[in-house]
Chain A
């Protein structure tokens, strides 16, 4: 493995020596700008490729290192980026990733076409001397002057180090954001459960007092009924928490998740399901995917359990006011609002979830019979002001 020389000389002196002196010397590539790009949202891969397309850098490589080299970077999340993606065969990917954790980075590799490469690995360090990743250089023939080779790479490695460092910070920020969201979700749920339990506590006290008095049987009965409903509600919230945990494991886009839910329920019922998705790109770009998938699953569960339907359709299309309409409709018996169970909170929870996501949920009879659950999901910054 090549170590970086401690005495750093300006690469531009080297470049002058190696290049044709009649050609103008290129301006120094602006690596710091690329690191900033990564910080402001440009992906690591994009920044890397952009860096390699920089004319100054290309000139630098061609003239100083080896005109027949390709570059690969392994960063600290073990993601691999290549100058030319078609070079990254599965076999090569496996070899490079396995070399990442090894001390010895120089090795030969023969691809499927029989072409041989010699790989040279360079560690990339942060300013705090933490290993951020490795740069691998694939050459068609071994390098004769290793010291010169290493020296020429120094500024490039420094730039890659900056990008990887920025990316590491971004990764940490993302991890924190996910953790905060989880905490917020748990806090909200705990808050609701705590409120229910406080209410139960109050009612239990009241019940206790009533039991001590005489001739209050009717009021006693009403209180017991109320407590019973609240206990069921708390139970439902707990089940919802379990369900949400399962949904959060899903990493599919919304369209794919809907398809998977439908596949699942198709095998569990005799209902004909039809997915009519007219705006897949828009629906897959929506935020609050977990909330949406939860509501779709809940609606389809209710449909299968209660609707007595033979057909169901999941319609996704653009709607007025810059929204996406997601509608789950069936041709079943419809909802009898007078027969609504007082201990049923499914709809309330769905509405709360959609309200939190800035969406509007409507449950109404379907024209021609059955029920339709319509969810109006805002695109961009549109949101609905609704009372939960």
Chain B
């Protein structure tokens, strides 16, 4: 309840008189509840209605777990158990409350504390609506997931490498498996082998020369060369890429895409 204490202290400092505590608690845009020994709600402020769809007096004497999403009830009980077993203030718990009015679920961060320092019951809890934050994270995750799976489905190898003779790979897409016969993790940072070592011995010099020439003239490069596949055969590949520069003009990386040309004569 330190949040409430801070709020009240601030009020006293500015107004110098005793405020209407009930009005303050009901003005909060967080739910404040008190839970009794039998896990029933003893008190809820006005914002509780926004989250649960129930008026505070309607919710009194109802078991708090009933407002929690069934899949999160075990999490809540585990949190309570940890709360009683530990002398330290536990981390807040994130779970879903069900709003019966609009059929929505609200993601909430719940902080639990003892109402009276020397008594295990009742408990006070502050409930913050973190649904917008969760939704935002879900959107970011979905974008990332979508982009990642899209890149990995491309029938070619996308890469970012260092500009060295080994062409040390910082990132390669899953297309690496088909193109070279090796898994990305074998190649990233030369864990097991370098991309440069797969380039046909007779082509290594021309590859290096053509890429450096394009970098110096600040252009993209397009090259064709032979690559040693894990199966043992030599395949022909086509690569298009360009260098990434810092503001000061130094080369940070080479990025590009490599296709197999095996089917061509």
Q: Does A276 sit within 8 A of B, measured CB to CB?
A: yes
A-B CB pair tally, cutoff 8 Å: 33
Flag if B139 contacts A278 (CB, 8 Å): no
The answer, yes or no, to whether B103 is at the interface (CB within 8 Å) is: yes
In angstroms, Cα B189 to Cα A311, docked, is 38
Number of interface residues of A (CB under 8 A): 17
**Least distance between A78 CB and chain B CB atoms (Å):** 36
User: Per a CB cutoff under 8 Å, which of B70, B103, B142, B149 touches A272?
Assistant: B142
Contact residue among A267, A271, A277 (Cβ-Cβ distance under 8 Å from B149): A267
- CB-based contact B71/A271 at 8 Å: no
> Any chain B CB within 8 A of the CB of A3?
no
Contact flags (1/0) for B122-166 with A, using CB distance below 8 Å? 000000000000010011011101110100000000000000000
Q: Which residue of A lies closest to B137 (CB)?
A: A272
- Map CB proximity to A onto B7-40 as digits: 1 under 8 Å, 0 otherwise: 0000000000000000000000000000000000
B71 touches A277 (CB 8 A): yes
- Quick check: is A32 within 8 A (CB to CB) of the other chain? no
Pair A280/B139 contact, Cβ less than 8 Å: no
Contact bitstring A269-289, B, C-beta under 8 A = 1, else 0 = 111101011111000000000
B-side contacts of A272, CB under 8 Å? 135, 138-139, 141-142
Taking the complex as formed, is A218 at the interface, i.e. its CB lies under 8 A from any CB of chain B? no
Question: Which residues of chain B come closer than 8 Å to A315, judged between CB atoms?
Answer: 103
Q: A278-B98, A315-B103 are in contact. Are A269 and B69 (CB under 8 A)?
A: no
Give Cα A279 to B141, complex, Å: 27
Contact yes or no, B69 A271, CB < 8 A: no
Instruction: Enumerate chain B residues within 8 angstroms of A271, measured Cβ to Cβ.
Output: 142
Contact indicator B69/A278 (Cβ below 8 Å) = yes
Q: Is B183 an interface residue (CB 8 A)?
A: no
Q: Does B105 contact A (CB under 8 A)?
A: yes
| A interface secondary structure, majority | mixed
> Which residues of A in the span 243-271 have a Cβ within 8 Å of any Cβ on B?
266-271
Determine the interface band of chain B, counting residues with CB < 8 A from chain A. 10 to 19
Residue contact A278 to B146, C-beta cutoff 8 Å: no
Alpha-carbon distance A244/B59, docked complex (angstroms): 46
Closest B residue to A281 by beta carbon equals: B70
Do A278 and B138 have beta carbons less than 8 Å apart? no
**A267-B145 contact, Cβ under 8 Å, with A272-B138, A310-B139:** yes
| Closest chain A CB from B154 CB (angstroms) | 14
- CB nearest neighbor in B for A255: B71
Q: Which residue of B lies closest to A317 (CB)?
A: B103
Complex alpha-carbon distance, A277 and B147, angstroms: 28
CB-CB under 8 A from A277, the residues of chain B are 70-71
Known: A310-B139, A315-B103. Contact between A270 and B146, CB under 8 A?
A: yes
Give the chain A neighbours of B69 by CB distance below 8 A. 276, 278
A278 vs B71: C-alpha distance in the bound complex, in angstroms? Answer: 7
- Give the chain B neighbours of A276 by CB distance below 8 A: 69, 105
Measured in the bound complex, the distance between the Cα atoms of B98 and A268 in whole Å is 29
Q: Knowing A267-B149, A268-B149, A315-B103 are in contact, say whether A279-B70 is a contact too (CB < 8 A).
A: yes
- B residues in contact with A278, CB < 8 Å: 69-71, 98
A280–B142 CB distance below 8 A: no
Q: Which residues 98-113 in B have Cβ within 8 Å of A in the complex?
A: 98, 103, 105
Closest to B139 in A: A272
Q: How far is the CB of B68 from chain A (nearest CB, A)?
A: 11
Min CB–CB distance B150 → chain A (angstroms): 9
User: In the complex, how many angstroms separate the beta carbon of A142 from the nearest chain B beta carbon?
Assistant: 49
Chain A residues numbered 304-318 whose CB sits less than 8 Å from any CB in chain B: 310-311, 315, 317
Q: Which residues of B contact A280 (CB under 8 A)?
A: 70-71
- Complex alpha-carbon distance, A382 and B265, angstroms: 67
Q: Which residues of B contact A311 (CB under 8 A)?
A: 135
Contacts of A267 in B (CB 8 A): 145, 149
Q: Which residues of B contact A266 (CB under 8 A)?
A: 142, 145
Q: Which residues of B contact A269 (CB under 8 A)?
A: 146
| Chain A, 228-245, CB within 8 A of any chain B CB | none
Across the A-B interface, the 3 shortest Cβ-Cβ residue pairs: A270-B146, A272-B142, A272-B138
What would 26 A/B residue contacts be, using CB atoms closer than 8 Å?
Answer: A267-B145, A267-B149, A268-B149, A269-B146, A270-B142, A270-B143, A270-B145, A270-B146, A270-B147, A271-B142, A272-B135, A272-B138, A272-B139, A272-B142, A274-B138, A276-B69, A277-B70, A278-B69, A278-B70, A278-B98, A280-B70, A280-B71, A310-B139, A311-B135, A315-B103, A317-B103
A residues with a Cβ closer than 8 A to B are 266-272, 274, 276-280, 310-311, 315, 317
11 extra interface residue pairs, beta carbon distance < 8 Å, beyond A272-B141, A280-B71:
A267-B149, A269-B146, A270-B142, A270-B146, A270-B147, A272-B135, A272-B139, A272-B142, A274-B138, A279-B70, A317-B103
